Copies of this chain bind each other. A is one copy, B any other.
């Protein structure tokens, strides 16, 4: 049934008015020039009156729900002050937002593509609670732990909101003593970070995670993760992308060979992680001044982290004089060689780059790490890379942190940052002037005269019974033009129209909304005719 504002008349878009007049005139067998004063028409009720009102009246209608979604972004949108309301500020919590119908339609598109790729790989789905015992999250995120949302102690357990889906997954695997699983999990996570919502950075945001847990042969699951990222980004069709890869053992090998003491590997790794946002000079400064690294050691590292390439770089580093004797570096380089080979067989090596400046923030990675960045879209007026849209890597020790016997399960996985993808998809559709529907309605049941409400409801029942998505107005006697306008605005392809004469004759009129062609069919042929017209061509 319809969302027509009470007694309102169509306003937007006004350019449809002449065509509606033409159609009405046609139905009434009058030419457009005669529309000002109507004699009774073929449908036995007062369309003429309505149209006359429409032509002479100041017309206003745009149901709120049909307007583009208003941004309701935290403290920015829709707010009114405490003073005015006398009560409280009407807003969503800082760093969060509502998603309206159009935004949800875009998101569903992105989700459907990601789900289809997850299913392509035979992944199962799991779901974990939105909060965990606080101690489950403790000691997993390093410095970032300060960003965790805690729940109030209301008597009982001490809980925190999940910070990612990886730690709950590891908890799930350990708790259920699972030795192997390939699962996906799409859900929101929570970080008390400084939000930058215009850039798609929120405190509450979706992660779409795909992980493979189990003791398998080297690099086969890791290559599958690269392939999956390649497939998702190709199918989303958001322009060129690069999948950067590196290996924690190579980084550790470089650090060791350059003279970094072992206890400083992770802090120095954190510094390298900032290379995607800061120039080397700043990163070097952090290494030397904050983390107490010898200047010459920092400079040696600086030479390595600038490297980026493919197999030739791997080969060169294998015989690099400093790395030649590092077991860690050699193990990591061998892994990457193998990874490139598998990616070739999987047809996903073309966007892959070995980038020694890639470090990833989280402490729990132990092997291959990767990150996908979208290159700027010219149609989006951006320059360079628009930032990371997926990231992940191998974390062989995390499950063991939850096992009393420290028995671990090797894991590798990837996480898509859906908010960025979704912002970019929205920009793309805006640029291409696509108007996305937020409903799936196929048929609007309209009445051309009063007293038809039960007849309309019976038709709705008939269509629903046949699996046809159908709506009608919630008014007893809705104005015909409002009904047609609603169908047009909502991009509903077909209108089924009845008047007294149609009911008497046991027929209905079917109207194609875009072409405005109509045909009269017998009621008993209605369902079959509609199904035929709605079938994909």
A132 at the interface (CB under 8 A from B): yes
Given A108-B125, A132-B92, A172 and B220 touching (CB < 8 A)? Answer: no
Judge if A402 is at the interface, Cβ distance under 8 Å: yes
Judge whether A404 is part of the interface by a CB distance below 8 angstroms: yes
Q: How far is the CB of A163 from chain B (nearest CB, A)?
A: 14
B460–A346 touching, CB < 8 Å: yes
Q: Which residues of chain B have C-beta atoms less than 8 A from A190's C-beta?
A: 130
A78-98 vs B, CB cutoff 8 Å, 1 = contact: the mask equals: 101000111111111110111
**With A88-B135, A440-B122 known to touch, is A127 a contact of B99 (CB < 8 Å)?**
yes
Residues in chain B near residue A38, CB distance under 8 A: none
* Complex interface bits, A158-192 against B, C-beta within 8 A gives 1, otherwise 0: 01010000000001101111111111000010101
Name the residue of chain B whose CB is nearest to the CB of A168.
B98
A172 to B69, CA, bound (A): 12
With A64-B177, A180-B3, A345-B461 known as contacts, the answer to whether A126 contacts B101 (CB < 8 A) is yes
Establish whether residues A126 and B152, one from each chain, have CB atoms under 8 Å apart when the complex forms: no
Selected from B174, B183, B342, B474, the residue in CB contact (under 8 A) with A221 is B474
Q: Which of B5, B129, B175 contacts A214 (CB 8 A)?
A: B5
**A220–B176 CB distance below 8 A:** no
Which residues of B have CB within 8 Å of A5? 179-180, 214-215
Q: Nearest CB to that of A343 among chain B residues?
A: B457
Q: A153: shortest Cβ distance to chain B, in Å?
A: 8
Query: Which residues of chain B have C-beta atoms less than 8 A from A217's C-beta?
Result: 453, 474-476
Cα A180 to Cα B94 with chains together (Å): 27
Q: Mark A429-461, 1 if CB is under 8 A from B, else 0.
A: 000000000111100000000000110011011
A461 touches B346 (CB 8 A): yes
Number of copies of this chain that the complex holds: 2
Whether the Cβ atoms of A119 and B469 lie closer than 8 Å is yes
Q: Is there contact, CB below 8 Å, between B220 and A63?
A: no
CB distance from A324 to the nearest CB of B (A): 27
Contact at A120–B159, with CB atoms within 8 Å? no
Q: How many residues of A contact B (CB 8 A)?
A: 116
A156 within 8 A of B: yes
* A465–B347 touching, CB < 8 Å: yes
How far does the Cβ of A413 sit from chain B's closest Cβ, in whole Å? 14
B154 to A152, Cβ gap below 8 A? Answer: no
A128 closest partner in B (C-beta): B98
State A40–B37 Cα separation when bound (angstroms). Answer: 94
B-contact 0/1 string along A49-79, CB 8 Å cutoff: 0000000000000011100001010000110
Bound: A265/B240 CA distance, A: 65
A124 to B99, CA, bound (A): 11
**Contact yes or no, B64 A122, CB < 8 A:** no
| Residue-wise interface mask of A (349-370) relative to B, using a CB-CB cutoff of 8 A (1 in contact, 0 not) | 0000000000000000000000
Contacts of A307 in B (CB 8 A): none
Q: Does A151 contact B (CB under 8 A)?
A: yes
* A65 vs B461: C-alpha distance when bound (angstroms): 44
Judging by beta carbons under 8 Å apart, are A231 and B404 in contact?
no
A342 touches B457 (CB 8 A): yes
Q: Tell me the bound Cα distance from A64 to B174 in angstroms.
A: 11
A133 contacts B by Cβ under 8 Å: yes
Do the beta carbons of A90 and B124 come within 8 Å of each other?
A: no
7 residue pairs A–B, Cβ–Cβ below 8 Å? A87-B135, A87-B404, A91-B133, A124-B438, A156-B192, A217-B474, A220-B476
Instruction: List 16 extra interface pairs beyond A121-B469, A122-B470, A149-B154, CB under 8 A.
Output: A1-B212, A1-B224, A2-B122, A5-B179, A5-B180, A64-B178, A65-B124, A78-B177, A96-B129, A98-B175, A99-B128, A120-B467, A216-B474, A217-B474, A342-B453, A342-B454
**A interface vs B, CB < 8 Å?**
1-6, 63-65, 70, 72, 77-78, 80, 84-94, 96-101, 104-105, 108, 119-133, 135-136, 149-154, 156-157, 159, 161, 171-172, 174-183, 188, 190, 192, 204, 212, 214-217, 220-221, 223-224, 227, 231, 341-342, 345-348, 402, 404, 438-441, 453-454, 457-458, 460-461, 464-465, 467, 469-471, 474-476, 490
